[in-house]
């Protein structure tokens, strides 16, 4: 049972004002093995740490004397409108953080009117997720297995359930060496399963990518986003939308669906504030002129 349930009303008494508050709560209340699984990367975790530092090297250029009394954070991804340019990235095993798992994640994304990318390694089935949030906008993250029939079957399932896009993972020819998982001998508790297989078994590169594709496709980024100003920086560099992974899990660990909704709302509020301070009334006005790079 999640620690939030065990301690009664403690969650409701805490003032959560930024994403690092949710991170601290999750670190305190999740088991060490679960926290290490969510928090760590592979080997020395250089990419994880660099993702965080990269956003801090980017400074916003305030613009003043502009009418920002009304702002519009809406955008579109793949032709579908979402409430603001933050979606939920594919992360595995949400039931480790909250007993409802990905079902709660899907409901929170639906409530905030944004995109949720379901992980291949979800602890709720794609059918359960679709049923929990029938009006939600969902994509599916897919590993292409040597057993092509296995991949084909799951693609057919998510297509029939109304998932709107496939997100292919292409940078895992081999599984990374996750040192803490090895030390902890991490494995799923026996009551949890990878439900989609029942019965069958970064920011520094963004500008270069944007310049290369020349507007031919939409570009999304995840990794290292912790504030609404991070969202604005990513969009200024040419991203269409950002996706959050670990912060979504922190929200689940806090109060399930409600906690994740709080995480998304905080990011939305911070993004709207950053837009106003940058003189932007809508997403279309965000461009590279709003930022400058600094050395830390």
**pTM to 2 decimal places:** 0.86
**Sequence-ordered list of residues with C-beta below 8 angstroms from that of 161, at least 6 positions apart, any chain:** 126, 127, 130
Residues 17, 23: Cα–Cα separation, whole Å: 11
Domain tally for the chain?
Answer: 1
Question: N- to C-terminal Cα distance for the chain?
Answer: 42
Q: For the segment 217-263, what is each residue's pLDDT rounded down to a tens digit?
A: 999 999 999 999 999 999 999 999 999 999 999 999 999 999 999 99
Maximum Cα–Cα distance across the chain? 62
CATH of the domain at 188: 3.20.20.70
Helix axes 32-39, 246-277, angle to 10 degrees: 50
Q: For the segment 99-112, what is each residue's pLDDT rounded down to a tens digit?
A: 999 999 999 999 99
Both tokens of 90, joined, read 């594919």
Ranges of residues in the chain whose predicted pLDDT is under 50: 1-12, 199-201
- In the three-class reduction of DSSP (H, G, I as helix; E, B as strand; rest coil), residue 139 is classed as strand
What is the domain range of residue 55? 3-293
Report the DSSP beta bridge partners of residue 59.
Answer: 292
Report the DSSP beta bridge partners of residue 117.
Answer: 139
User: What is residue 201's predicted lDDT score, i.e. its pLDDT?
Assistant: 44
Residues 38, 34: Cα–Cα separation, whole Å: 6
């Amino acid at each position: 049972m999640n620690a939030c349930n065990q301690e009664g009303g403690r969650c409701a008494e805490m003032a959560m004002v930024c994403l690092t508050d949710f991170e601290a709560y999750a670190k305190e209340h999740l088991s060490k093995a679960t926290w290490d699984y969510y928090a760590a990367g592979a080997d020395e975790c250089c990419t994880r740490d660099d993702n965080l530092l990269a956003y801090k090297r980017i400074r916003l250029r305030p613009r003043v004397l502009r009418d920002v009394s009304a702002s519009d954070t809406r955008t579109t991804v793949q032709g579908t409108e979402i409430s603001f340019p933050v979606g939920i990235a594919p992360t595995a095993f949400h039931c480790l953080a909250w007993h409802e798992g990905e079902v709660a994640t899907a409901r929170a994304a639906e409530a905030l009117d944004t995109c949720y990318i379901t992980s291949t390694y979800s602890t709720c089935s794609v059918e359960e997720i679709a049923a929990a949030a029938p009006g939600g906008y969902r994509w599916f993250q897919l590993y292409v297995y040597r057993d092509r029939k296995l991949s084909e079957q799951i693609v057919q399932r998510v297509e029939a359930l109304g998932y709107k896009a496939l997100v292919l993972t292409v940078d895992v020819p081999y599984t990374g060496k996750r040192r803490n998982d090895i030390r902890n001998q991490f494995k799923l508790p026996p009551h949890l399963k990878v439900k989609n297989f029942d019965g069958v078994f970064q920011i520094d590169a963004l500008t270069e990518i944007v310049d290369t594709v020349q507007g031919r496709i939409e570009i999304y980024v995840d990794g290292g986003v912790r504030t609404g100003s991070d969202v604005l920086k990513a969009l200024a560099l040419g991203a269409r939308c950002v996706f959050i992974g670990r912060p979504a899990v922190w929200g689940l660990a806090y109060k399930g669906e409600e906690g994740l909704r709080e995480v998304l709302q905080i990011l939305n509020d911070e993004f709207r504030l950053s837009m106003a301070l940058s003189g932007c009334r809508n997403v279309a006005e965000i461009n590279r002129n709003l930022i400058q790079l600094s050395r830390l």
